[in-house]
Amino acid sequence: MKKYKKEDIEIVWNSDKCTHAGFCARQLSKVFKPKERPWIQPENATKQEIIDQVKKCPSGALSIQKSK
């Protein structure tokens, strides 16, 4: 599980759950870039854009947590 910080949230990616459907990369390509490292670049979108996209993840591999 990897975490990527954006303001007061963390984008959590659980690779074991990921089905690589590609919704995130196709719909918010300025943040989700599978061919780059790090592949999640939260600085390229607003917090709300990221939250809205993560909610669409069909496998639940992406989630949002409040950062500590």
- Residue-level pLDDT at 67: 86
Q: Taking the domains of the chain in order of start, what are their residue ranges?
A: 2-66
Predicted confidence (pLDDT) per residue in 10-46, tens digit: 999 999 999 999 999 999 999 999 999 999 999 999 9
User: pTM for this structure?
Assistant: 0.93
The CATH topology of domain 2-66 is Alpha-Beta Plaits (3.30.70)
- Residue-level pLDDT at 68: 74
What is each CA distance from 9 to 18, 21, 26, in whole angstroms?
A: 20, 24, 22
Q: In the 8-state DSSP scheme, what is residue 56?
A: T
Work out the pLDDT band at 55, boundaries 50, 70, 90: very high
State the distance between the two ends of the chain, measured CA to CA, in whole angstroms.
16
Closest CA relative to residue 50, chosen from 2, 1, 7: 7
